[in-house]
């Protein structure tokens, strides 16, 4: 009888010892789940933000998403005015056409070619040991895409402008940006398939 009592007491003590461990395990498990949920929420928020600008469309219906990945496209050329520094980039289809001799060979760029003019306000470099302007605040992405069926009246090119506001860290479609917004300027280079900038030697 005493042995049974001893075993019962021992089992009860073991059960009591397990309870704190179980509580700690529950707390640890809850913490892990809560952390995972928080991390997931941050990742989802980051994805939503990254996609936000690609939901934009110009008044004429040109989607910013058509130019997805432009941040990593190859540089075609650069330019500057007194107030703006510009870097011109193009998608692989257009870069391949450039390398094949377009437009100097008399051939037009193919449908699907896209080019983007990225614009910054300049500032004087505070680090360089000589006088040089460097990009300061990004302001605008001026885009062009070749689609002969969609834009037959403008040499096959569609144009749009997406402005960037540094204070809000947001892009907006320029309300005055029609599909032919840049055509009036680009007609002077009609013989070059409406493209000002050649693919610069490097």
Give the length of the chain.
Answer: 202
Give the CB-side neighbour count of residue 73, counting CA atoms within 13 A: 25
Instruction: Write the pLDDT tens digit of every residue in 146-155.
Output: 999 999 999 9
> In the chain, pLDDT over 70 holds for what percent of residues?
74
Break the chain into its structural domains and give their ranges.
Answer: 2-53, 64-192
Instruction: Write the pLDDT tens digit of every residue in 94-129.
Output: 999 999 999 999 999 999 999 999 999 999 999 999
To the question of domain 64-192 being in CATH 3.50.70.20, the answer is: yes
pTM over 0.75: no
């Amino acid at each position: 009888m005493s042995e049974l009592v001893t075993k019962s007491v021992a089992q009860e003590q073991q059960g009591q010892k397990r309870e704190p461990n179980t509580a700690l395990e529950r707390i640890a498990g809850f913490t892990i789940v809560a952390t995972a949920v928080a991390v997931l929420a941050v990742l989802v928020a980051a994805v939503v933000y990254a996609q936000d600008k690609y939901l934009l469309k110009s008044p004429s219906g040109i989607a910013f998403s058509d130019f997805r990945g432009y941040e990593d496209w190859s540089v075609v050329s650069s330019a500057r005015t007194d107030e703006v520094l510009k870097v011109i980039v193009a998608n692989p289809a257009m870069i391949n056409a450039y390398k094949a001799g377009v437009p100097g060979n008399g051939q037009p760029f193919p449908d699907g070619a896209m080019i983007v003019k990225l614009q910054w306000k300049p500032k004087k470099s505070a680090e360089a040991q000589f006088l040089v302007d460097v990009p300061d605040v990004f302001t605008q992405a001026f885009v062009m895409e070749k689609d002969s069926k969609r834009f037959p009246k403008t040499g096959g090119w569609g144009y749009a402008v997406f402005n960037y506001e540094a204070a809000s860290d947001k892009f907006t479609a320029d309300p005055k940006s029609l599909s032919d917004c840049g055509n009036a300027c680009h007609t002077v280079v009609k013989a070059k398939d409406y493209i000002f900038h050649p693919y610069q030697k490097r």
